[in-house]
Structure 1
């Protein structure tokens, strides 16, 4: 009897391990409807072949380290390295198709989150506009420019969490949300002050990483 219990416990362990969070560079072949999925879209500088490019002012964008820092046992992380000269609207369409595949596989909308920084945040906003789903979660990191606030062809839907750096030229998402507040199910925003300007999000700093992961894992 004790032997059977040990085997049962070990089987549960293997099942929990197999469902633990993993990092993918694209949509996984097998989708677990009970799992949670987070998409991360990097900034413009990473587009191309180099995952750790150097910016003259803000230093190294460490895409591998950001992926590792953003990963968590509570969800699967999908972080694709975009090629050079990626068209943001065309890529957002591909991203929305991937989200729809998850939905069609039985993953609830509330279990899907999209996180984007800078150009990746712009792509995330476009994707939200394509999906028009008020139950999906979105995280915008330093991407709510005045230009985005004026673009009536891009509307954010669902639950939105915004993080911006006070020393950066890109600030709050308030104006973006105010333009179509009826499509946003919930909105929360925090500011950080590292003095690193846009480069604050180039590495997995706890200042932005901790509030983002806490929000992603909040009880819905």
Structure 2
């Protein structure tokens, strides 16, 4: 995963990583950002506030690891790259509870594969706008593991709770919570930096599972 000018330097480059008390947050954006320039607004949902979201997490004290992905990024291949970065953090002594993977839309599906591949019950995951009717049957190879917060939007067509996917998990999931928002913004709820999903995500990444 190559760094960009707005990406915090990876922990593997920091000699003091294992000794500090930082919290690490991987942010995986939606497909619109993957396919368009960052300043290009969606015709219906407006601008996807990638920079604003990354900077907001940084202001909350997280070491943020993120980048603008290439068009048509393969979800499984990318998820394995993120899993390898998580492994590097763990090997250097970072506690798994201080690592959170946050994904919106397609980024949320990538994050679900990261959860599947990492298979670590203590890692934190937040899936935003990435649970829809029929996907448990259509994508059966996802087997979630970790502390999982799912956020979906009532007005987002076909959106459902992640509970059905959780029920099929073969991993023990200590903490699971599903939040259904009702902003009326349909799938566009995840484009801007909104406190409705940002604030619970920050709490989850701080290991506040209430």
Q: What TM bracket, shorter-length normalisation?
A: 0.7 to 0.9
- Please say which of residues 52-61 and 123-132 is displaced more in the overlay: 52-61
- The Cα of 1:49 is off from its aligned counterpart by 5.8
Equivalent residue number for residue 119 of structure 1: 106
Deviation of residue 200 (structure 1)? 0.7
Q: Which residue of 1 aligns with 2:48?
A: 61
Could you tell me whether the CA contact under 8 Å between 2:28 and 2:104 is conserved in 1? yes
Q: What SS does the aligned partner of 1:55 have?
A: coil
Which residue, out of 164, 180, 191, partners 1:175? Answer: 164
Structure 2's unaligned 5+ residue stretches are 1-5
In the alignment, what sits opposite 1:186? 175
CA RMSD, aligned part only?
Answer: 1.9
Aligned residue number for residue 143 of structure 2: 155
Q: Does 1:80 align with 2:81?
A: no
Q: CA deviation at 1:172?
A: 1.2
Q: Check the 8 A contact 1:161/1:187 in 2, yes or no.
A: yes
1:115 aligns to what SS in structure 2? strand
1:18 is aligned to none
Distance 1:82 1:26, change over 3 A: farther
Deviation at residue 52 of structure 1 after TM alignment: 3.2
TM-score, normalised with respect to structure 2: 0.87
- The Cα shift of 1:48 comes to 4.2
Normalised by the length of structure 1, the TM-score is 0.83
Aligned counterpart, 2:206? 217
Is 1:110 the counterpart of 2:97? The answer is yes
Q: Which runs of 5+ in 1 are unaligned?
A: 1-22
Please identify the structure whose Cα radius of gyration is greater: 1
Q: Once the 2 structures are TM-superposed, how far is the Cα of residue 207 of structure 1 from its aligned partner?
A: 1.2
Secondary structure in structure 1 of the residue aligned to 2:174: strand
